[in-house]
A and B are shown apart, each in its own frame.
Chain A
Amino acid sequence: MRRVSKIAAAGVVSAALALTATACGSSTTSDSGSTGGSGSASSSSSGGGGKTKGVGMAYDVGGRGDHSFNDSAARGLDKADGELKLDSKELTAANGETESDRVQRLDSLAAAGYNPVVAVGYTYGTAVTTVAKKYPNTTFGLVDSVVDAPNVDSMVFATEQSSYLAGVAAALKTKTGKVGFIGGVQNTLIGTFDAGFAQGVKDTKPSVQLTREYLYKTDPRGFNDATSAAAKAQGMLDKGVDVIYTAAGLSGDGSIQKVAGKSGAWAIGVDSDQFQDPALAKYKNSILTSAIKNVDVAVYDLINSVKKDNKPKVGTNSYDLANNGVSLATSGNFLSDVQAQIDAAKQKIVSGQIKVSSTP
């Protein structure tokens, strides 16, 4: 007993010593570090090139690897990167952030010299307004929201149109006559998916019954909560729903996984072509199609306009079915039997014969 406590005491003392030692060590190295790089903390990782910095990406919760919304933006960056060899920086939002976190993220990217700075997701709206004012010579991209400033490219997508087509596909493919919609957060943006899908289903087969569920009323973690999406999807499957359209970012993985567990049931992906996603390859035979939002096209356009043409694309830019900013995926060929009807619906939307409502 006595020996044990002596060992413990020795441990405490050495621990205390070690802590002071490490503290001293870090502070001296930090001095040498700050004299070395006069700029910001990023100098060491960026390779020390004196050239202008590349693109600063600020993702929404979920980040690169969400197989959906953020990945779509990341593809735009990767494409531009492949052609222009950019030295870019990617940062990601966490759950439960405050406005100051988002402002800081954009600010640090702009301060480090990244241009353009792309804010992926509507949550950055206010932050872009603030930071764009502070850095008038940097171009900012904002996905899914509109900020009226001379150096901001507001990219908005007519997702109700692609969701309409998803609704057409769902109505034609359901065997039980029941389809479901799962939204990440009940807000205006996700409302456009909901509205388009519902209208597409109704216009195609009025008898089909639609169940709508939202993961969260207001909390943006709805885009990063696969568990609750899985629970909602399971609930729908148990009630006989056999086509589920999930518009919830990374949460959609949970829903797709549950749907894949039931034979004959179909999942409809969102934002990216989720059939092609390697991480979802296990479930791809259950992914009927995806309502694609070509954030990559918009992001690529912006990067190109800044880096190559030197004529930043600013203002509000809309992406819809007509200019291929949104579309319905065909990979997997599960829709080949109904493709004609989907194409017909698409034509009607493009020509203006069908007006898709953006509010449920």
Chain B
Amino acid sequence: MKKFDKDRVLLGLAAPVLSVLGALIVTGLVLLASGKEPFHAFHVMLTYGSKSDSQVYILNKATPYYLSGLAVAIGFRMNLFNIGVDGQYRLAAFFAAAVGGSMSIPGVIQIPIIILTAMVVGAAWAAIAGVLKVTRGVSEVISTIMLNSIAGIVIGFFLQDGRLGVTDKLANTITTKPIPPGSHLFNFTTQTDPVVGFIVFAGLAGVVYWFVLSRTRFGFDLRSVGRSDSAAQASGVSVKKMVVVSMLISGAMAGLVGMSTLLNQSYQFSTDFPAGIGFTGIAVALLGRNNPIGIAIGALLWAFLERASNGLEFEGYDKEIVGVIQGAIVLAVVIAYELVRRYGLARQQRQVGAELAAAGSDDKQEVTA
């Protein structure tokens, strides 16, 4: 039995290792094909990505990626494909910024209000897709991706002079009113740039995610619906309720994605607020296999790759090569997990077969005896 566990750990590690390696090989081939030397490129990425200011950058960048990955993973666990994290977090950050900019009360009260606003807005936006799914059978893939687009339009509508926006004539940007300095979240000072304080909240969110999904009745219900909704229904779980509730939680988690940028860096929502993190989250959740620690590793890897792309560009490589690496990793992850799963299955069958054969030969012996 002990040996069996060790094998399982090996099998579990095999897939991510295989996929990263596969991605590196693919990237190496692409670099070779474009007439560049691949090993030097990987070397540049490692040295540049491990410098102290790079480490800070990676942590800061991984924070929203991690939250985004968690938000997507909640849906994945339910067999729900929440592509709408992107729209949910942008809308959430926008309204949170608007609320934060319109108040000036002590930060101890205001920061929680801002964060709560973001969670509520994110949850509400995701709930639209959830309700549509249970009442009208609309696929959440379709509705969330359309809601992304609608979120952008809603923001564009409100982010105008005279509504919730303030035009900065010289900088060509429109922003919400800045959040007063009293409500800026703490940062961790380092030798170089500060590390965002929101990283603490992201870590907490990971713990909550783990606890709720694997240590509570609710989490069990959620996972059982994900495995087989008919079986869950039979055991007394209301599948419809679970769909809406998990979309709400996923949306609330998505609401947190923009908070590190808002409370630690920009203090306002402007036209150049980072977009697309929701889609990064899908890749990160896939990479982390919905496991809170796996997602953290995925988020850090993603941030590292993006940081390393700057180093590559400085050395005369095309920074787009990092996009190739990221794409190859996602593809390789899917393939590698399938390979390892099949291998595990075959191994299990073989073991059972061997046991049966052993039992069978015993019988034969008895007969012949």
Contact = CB atoms under 8 A, between A and B. Distances in A.
Interface of A: 1-2, 4-5, 8-9, 11-12, 15-16, 18-19, 22, 25-27, 29-30, 33-34, 40-42, 44-45, 89, 91-92, 94-100, 104-105, 108, 112, 122-123, 125-126, 144-146, 185-189, 216-221
Contacts of A94: 309, 319
Contact of A19 (B17, B50, B60, B311): B17
B14 interface: yes
Interface string B177-196: 00000000000000001000
B172 A187 contact: yes
Interface residues of B, number: 56
Contact of B43 (A30, A99, A188): A30
A125 B314 CA distance: 22
B170 to A, nearest CB: 5
Interface string B304-342: 000001110111100100000000000000000001100
A2 B47 contact: no
Lowest 9 A-B CB distances belong to which pairs? A217-B156, A218-B271, A122-B172, A96-B276, A12-B14, A125-B171, A30-B47, A189-B172, A98-B274
Contacts of A146: 170
B265 A5 contact: no
B169 A105 contact: no
B275 A219 contact: yes
Interface stretch (B66-74, B221-229, B343-351): B343-351
Given A96-B276, A99-B272, A188-B167, A16 B14 contact: yes
Contacts of B13: 16
B165 to A, nearest CB: 9
A16 B22 CA distance: 11
Given A26-B42, A104-B57, A218 B47 contact: no
Majority DSSP secondary structure for residues of A touching B: helix
Nearest to A122: B172
Contacts of B24: 22
Given A218-B155, A218-B156, A218-B159, A45 B171 contact: no
A145 B172 contact: yes
Contacts of B60: 100
A146 B172 CA distance: 10
A99 B169 CA distance: 18
B46 interface: yes
Nearest to B343: A8
B275 to A, nearest CB: 5
Contact of A41 (B21, B159, B261, B315): B315
Contacts of B18: 11-12, 15
Contacts of A112: 314
Given A16-B14, A96-B276, A108 B170 contact: no
B46 A30 contact: yes
A165 to B, nearest CB: 23
A30 B44 CA distance: 8
A187 B271 contact: yes
A349 to B, nearest CB: 22
B113 interface: no
A94 B14 CA distance: 33
A125 B170 contact: yes
A26 B346 contact: no
A26 B43 CA distance: 6
A72 B60 CA distance: 34
B271 A105 contact: no
Given A15-B17, A15-B18, A187-B173, A42 B42 contact: no
